[in-house]
A and B are shown apart, each in its own frame.
Chain A
Amino acid sequence: MTVSHHLTDITIQDYAAGTLSMPMETLVACHLTVCSQCRRRAEVADSIGGNLFDQAEPATVTVSAADLLARAAMAPDHAAPQTASVASPAQPGVPRPLSRLLPTGLEELDWRRIAPGIKRFNLSDQHRKYGAFQLLHLDPGVTLSAHSHNDRELTYLVQGSYSDEVGKFQVGDIADLDGHHHHQPVIDSEEPCIALIATHSPVRYSGFVGKIMQPFVGI
């Protein structure tokens, strides 16, 4: 996979500090899976955190190491298996951080049509808390309205491709838009384009279809 659009330093630092929302983390982890360059940058960002740990002013702890180990010897291991044991259907072309969230294969998802050539699958019903977290299914040839972003939005290309003023986005690429990019994406792949999207702030819904598509289209 040739990845040509990467995460920004800002997002990588935020991810390392652990201050991103779960949807944003998912997008970042998807790209890090397919991009060793960014994974390496994320490791550097982690090591900054480690360095700050060494410099920190310690608080007073009340339990000694020996007491802790004595107590642990009597108690079971709580910290045991994490999410890894959860079976997840392997889906070709879908990084694990995303495929874990999908109940079915991509095409079988319960897509909702929101405009001609555009379908949506919500990954979270907690928009008000987290912002939008969804997949968009866009037919070849669809042109999204010109729009700009005022807030952070991450888009990960799961399938197909699109082009806009920033460039051509293909599978594995991430559009890490932060600021006032003005663009008008055109779906230019032969197969439908599927994009995973997370926005930082809640989407404001209104009757206007453009508002519904705001996270991607941002009209």
Chain B
Amino acid sequence: MNTLVPNPSGKPSDTAVALRQRMSNNLAAIGQEQDEAAFADFYSYYAGRVKSFLMGKGMNEEISEELTQEIMLTVWRRAESYDPKKAAASTWLFTIARNRRIDYLRGNSRIEVELDDEMLDVETTDTDPQAQFVENAQVAKRLKRALEKLPQEQRQVMHLSYFRGQSHGAIAKWLDLPIGTVKSRIRLAMQSVRLSLEGEDQDLLNDYTEKS
């Protein structure tokens, strides 16, 4: 594990929660006050990670550097639209970087839900536990723990998929495994994460358990 924030005495999950809070505050300060110090702190933690994410997909260093700067500028300009109640700062940044990478590699934008679509299925009640995913500190802790608890083989395929941008087929080739094995590892990882997030809500898990 990395040492994340200047709090080496804390337990890893506490450290992660502190980092999370700090980065979320940074985004708020950038969004509201164009706070350059907050941006510098955000940048010093994440710019290198964004670049390493881009290089993972086989982009050369020069282009990765260029896109990293673009992505970090997007953070600077769009921080206002960040909603800390919806997602962690890292999740928000991940989606920006992922989408920019797709844009660059494919030449057209990622296709996403448009939140003003008339067809949008809006959650009907606030009490519906399925209605929305709120990535609060509690959830973040659980998520982190769940990912740490995954067997190494499951973590490996998740990393290759998210971070190396490899298709399931490419991962199978890379690891010299049948594609079915790769998919079942991903499926198990997703189920474990969901189980740990939803805890006792066994029905929900069963609903989503795949047949094959």
Chain A interface residues (CB < 8 Å from chain B): 1, 3, 6, 8-10, 12-14, 16-19, 22, 25-26, 28-29, 32-37, 39-41, 43-66, 68-69, 72, 77-79, 82-84, 90, 93-97, 178-179
B90:A53 contact, CB within 8 angstroms:
yes
CB nearest to B51 among chain A residues = A59
Q: Most chain-B Cβ atoms within 10 A of its Cβ — which of A1, A35, A94, A95? A: A95
**Does B91 make an interface contact (CB < 8 A)?**
yes
B112:A97 contact, CB within 8 angstroms:
yes
Q: How far is the CA of A78 from the CA of B123 in the complex (A)?
A: 35
Partner of A14, one of B78, B113, B161: B161
Report chain A residues within 8 Å CB of B147: 48, 51-52
B161:A39 contact, CB within 8 angstroms:
no
Q: How far is the CA of A135 from the CA of B52 in the complex (A)?
A: 39
**Does B79 make an interface contact (CB < 8 A)?**
no
Report chain B residues within 8 Å CB of A40: 130-133
* In the A-B complex, the 7 residue pairs with the closest CB atoms: A58-B48, A50-B91, A65-B43, A50-B90, A59-B52, A25-B111, A9-B190
B162:A49 contact, CB within 8 angstroms:
yes
Report chain A residues within 8 Å CB of B51: 58-61
B193:A48 contact, CB within 8 angstroms:
yes
A9:B187 contact, CB within 8 angstroms:
yes
A66:B158 contact, CB within 8 angstroms:
no
CB nearest to A26 among chain B residues = B111
* B94 shortest CB reach to chain A, Å: 4
